[in-house]
Structure 1
Amino acid sequence: MKGSFAFLVASLAGSVVASPSWRSLFGVEKRQAGRCGTGFGGVCGKNECCSSAGWCGTGYLYCSAPSCQIEYGPGCDANVRPAGPDTINIARPKVGSIPYGQAIYRCSRNGDIALTYDDGPYTYTEDLLDLLKQYNARATFYITGRNLGKGAINDAATPWPGLIRRMIKDGHQIASHTWSHQRLTTLSRAKFWNQMIFNEIAFADILGYFPTYMRPPYSASNTTTDAWLGELGYHVTYFNLDTEGYLHDSPNTISTSKLIWDNTVEGRSPSSNTWLHIEHDPVYQSVYNLTEYMLKSLNRNKFSAVTVGECLQDPKANWYRQRRSPPRPTDGAARDTAAPRAEANQTARRAARRTDGAAPRTVTAGGAASPSSGPAAACRSRGFRSRRAARGDGAGPPSEAQSVPRPIRAAHGQTGVGARAITVGRGVKAGLERALEGGYGGFCGKGCANVRLYCEGLKDCIYDEKDLNTPYNS
């Protein structure tokens, strides 16, 4: 009897998993048969990508940076050169007193706190710029050219070129965080060069110049990569104030980051203290909760929010290398012919934002809105909502009206008010932690308990059809 019952359960489970409607409902995508990458050794075919789990394929789940294995997947986002003239032969004189190719951890002028944000621009960056402007604060943005499925930063069909021009106009500093957030110490010289040069090409395509400041992803560098960065004429900057906001991205845990800030800054004299800080603009709580907390504390304690170049007392003329004459910051950057369309898209996105959890509408390249479809819509039709829309606290903008896919997020057992989430088992938890550690780390972190996958963005509810205990890499 027990054997018959077990057989029946197994049969039913198999039929459900194999059902086209089930696959359609949860957005399951059939992966290609080829194995690749670390542990398998195979290289995928032309234009194919190698996922972090070692499968060849195409599309967002296989190709998005930084998790796509770039040595084994020719089609990985990281291997796609951006549009624009090459910068490899541009003269790179080493001017000023700030060292090149050497680690810099501290500011040199007391009273300054250099607020910095890594990994953007992202869907939260525009609101972050609004907040910084409200407090008359300047910051430095360590920009990644193509990561988290957002497309290239110089793609005129995205809001990114306009946001980067606005950063300059608002008095902020831009710096490089590589093209696709790869761990530099693991790369060949050729792949390393691509990580830096591709980002330069994209910056120069937007602004006519590119930065001389950079921060290595994962803070991972060594004597070899430092020498290469020095050869390219980069200041290698780190930080000495990390609130670990990326580890505490929920309303229930962001207080830990506030405590780190308070223990460092509160009650300290600006006459004898200065810090070089790090945050991440793809982290929701860091943007919509922690940043204003830091700005209020900073003002209360009489510190100045400045750029990294300012806190190092490096003249602004040294922050960039020119391909063509840069605009005056007070006038904003010269606009290319695609700028009006990109800005119209950005305006449409803002107008389309919702807080009521209603069915989302996706803004197209032409600025028109159309109903969402595919896995995300199927997921929402089952009652799932994105993490931000489901929070119920009214903080920040809603998340639905975006044309750029978001990564699947992990959170610390927090579903938000009225939210429904898919609770995953131990195998998925371990796999997700590995994926996040190898890609955009920090959303889960070590020792993360009770991980949930949230329906969010354009890649909701996606599971591995072969083994439900292993998630697709996001």
Structure 2
Amino acid sequence: MLGKSYALFLSAVLASAVPLIDPTAAPNPPKAALFTSCTVNGTMALTFDDGPYLWQKNMSDLLTQYNAKGTFFVSLAVGDCIYDEPFASNIQYTYQAGHQICAHTWSHPDLTTLNATRSKSALYNILGIKTDWVRPPYGSYNTAVRQQAYTLNKTLVTWDFEDEDSEGATAKQSMAYYDQFLAQNPLPPTGLMLNHETYNTTVFEVMPYAIPKLVKAGYKLVTLAECMGVEPYTYKGPLGTRDSTWVCPEENN
């Protein structure tokens, strides 16, 4: 009898309960995938933002000297137009050397206003590639940014180490950050490293110091795609040749 009374009581409670989830509510829009670190143990991705710049070819050669690969997040029209020389030639040179090229947006805007068509067209026109990888400017993102990136079929990536060159660090300070990283992260941990190719101290002082140390420590310096265990591009075709479309608009946004 007690069991029957309890069952009736429980049924009444459940019937009067307010559901925790409104079945009529619209689902949250999907968000783009976000990566903040490499996933393949023992690998390190040296990444360089805000190019292509005057010293990109130098950075490419330095990496090649140590049988290393890097990843360059190009901003396409920050200060200079990617179609201008020597930028277009430099990015083709870097790509042909086996380094990965990704997008850092057209002109460093907030990603909620990302002009995906311009970014995609520039990399396709110059390199013959299509890529889904995008680094949000300043590493800044929120739910709206990830939702917008999803609609554009983009994958977001930030970093788990930075040498703080863009924050005003001197070459010696950036070198010390790399030393500290090595002291605190013996293999097999990974590293997704943020640097900027627009600082001559990074290209000509910090990287010549850090790369040999990283190699000696046993890290495999690879592209972003390799450290994630995925393909670098969604499409690869022949290099582009200059034509009338290789022009940046007057307003880069």
Please identify which structure carries the higher helix content: 2
Q: CA deviation at 1:100?
A: 7.2
Residue deviations 1:300-335 (CA, integer Å, cap 9, x gap): 101111111100111x2xx3233xx524xxxxxx35
Matched, 1:287 2:203: yes
Q: Which residue number corresponds to residue 181 of structure 2?
A: 264
* Percent of aligned pairs sharing the same letter: 29
**Residue type matched to 1:263 in 2?**
Q
CA contact (8 A) 1:113 1:304 kept: yes
TM-score, with length taken from structure 2: 0.79
- Aligned partner of 1:167 among 77, 89, 94: 94
Q: Which residue number corresponds to residue 233 of structure 2?
A: 320
CA contact (8 A) 1:117 1:141 kept: yes
Q: CA deviation at 1:193?
A: 3.9
Matched, 1:238 2:126: no
- Aligned partner of 2:172 among 231, 255, 260: 255
Structure 1 window deviating more from structure 2 (304-313 vs 253-262): it is 253-262
Q: CA deviation at 1:337?
A: 5.2
- Within 1, Cα distance between the matches of 2:75 and 2:240? 21
**Residue type matched to 2:237 in 1?**
P
Structure 1 window deviating more from structure 2 (101-110 vs 159-168): it is 159-168
Query: 1:118 is paired with a residue of what secondary structure?
Result: strand
Q: Structure 1 unaligned runs (5+)?
A: 1-98, 328-333, 339-474
CA contact (8 A) 1:108 1:313 kept: yes
Q: CA deviation at 1:182?
A: 1.5
CA contact (8 A) 2:60 2:70 kept: no
**Residue type matched to 2:241 in 1?**
D
Q: Structure 2 unaligned runs (5+)?
A: 1-29, 244-253
- Aligned partner of 1:109 among 40, 43, 50: 40
| Equivalence map 1:2-401=2 (5 Å) | 101-148=32-79, 150-151=80-81, 153=82, 155=83, 157-184=84-111, 187=112, 192-194=113-115, 196-248=116-168, 253-266=170-183, 268-270=185-187, 272-314=188-230, 316=231, 319-322=232-235, 326-327=237-238, 334=239, 336=241
Structure with the bigger RCO (C-alpha within 8 Å, sep 6+) is: 2
Query: 1:110 is paired with a residue of what secondary structure?
Result: coil
**Residue type matched to 1:165 in 2?**
Q
Structure 1 residues 301 and 220: alpha-carbon distance in aligned structure 2, compared to 1, 3 A threshold: same
Q: CA deviation at 1:209?
A: 2.4
Q: CA deviation at 1:237?
A: 0.3
- Within 1, Cα distance between the matches of 2:31 and 2:97? 27
Residue deviations 1:427-468 (CA, integer Å, cap 9, x gap): xxxxxxxxxxxxxxxxxxxxxxxxxxxxxxxxxxxxxxxxxx
CA contact (8 A) 1:144 1:181 kept: yes
Query: 2:234 is paired with a residue of what secondary structure?
Result: strand
- Within 2, Cα distance between the matches of 1:237 and 1:294? 22
How many residue pairs match? The answer is 215
**Residue type matched to 1:336 in 2?**
T
Structure 1 residues 104 and 267: alpha-carbon distance in aligned structure 2, compared to 1, 3 A threshold: closer
- Within 1, Cα distance between the matches of 2:122 and 2:128? 9
**Residue type matched to 2:129 in 1?**
Y
How large is the Cα RMSD of the aligned pairs? Answer: 2.1
Query: 1:262 is paired with a residue of what secondary structure?
Result: helix
